[in-house]
Amino acid sequence: MPTDDVHVPAILAALEQHSVEYIVIGGFAAELHRVAIPPTRDIDITPAPTVDNLERLAGALRDLNARFRVLDGPPEGVEIPGGITAAWLGDMVTVTLWTDAGALNVALRPDGTAGYDDLRESLTFVNHEGYQVPVANLADVIRSKEAAGREKDLLVLPALRAHLRRQAGK
Q: Which of these ranges, 23-32, 33-42, 134-143, has the smallest mean pLDDT? A: 33-42
> Is there a contact between 158 and 142 (Cβ–Cβ < 8 Å)?
no
Backbone φ and ψ for 142, nearest 5 degrees, come out as -60, -45
Which strands, in side-by-side order, build the sheet including 94-99? 67-68, 94-99, 102-107, 43-47, 22-25, 131-135, 124-128
Region 64-83: mean pLDDT is 88
Examine the pLDDT at 144 and tell me if it is beyond 70. yes
**pLDDT-derived band of residue 110, with 50, 70 and 90 as boundaries?**
very high
- From the CB of residue 102, how many other CB atoms can be counted at a distance below 10 Å? 20
Q: pTM for the full model?
A: 0.93
DSSP H or E stretch at residue 134 = strand 131-135
Examine the pLDDT at 100 and tell me if it is beyond 90. yes
Region 142-153: mean pLDDT is 94
* Residue 44 to residues 103, 162, 165, 167, Cα–Cα distance (Å): 9, 22, 24, 23
- Tell me the C-alpha distance between 2 and 105, whole Å: 13
Examine the pLDDT at 104 and tell me if it is beyond 90. yes
> Is there a contact between 119 and 135 (Cβ–Cβ < 8 Å)?
no
Please report the domains of the chain, with CATH numbers, ordered by start residue: 8-157 (3.30.460)
- Tell me the C-alpha distance between 133 and 30, whole Å: 13
Region 14-22: mean pLDDT is 98
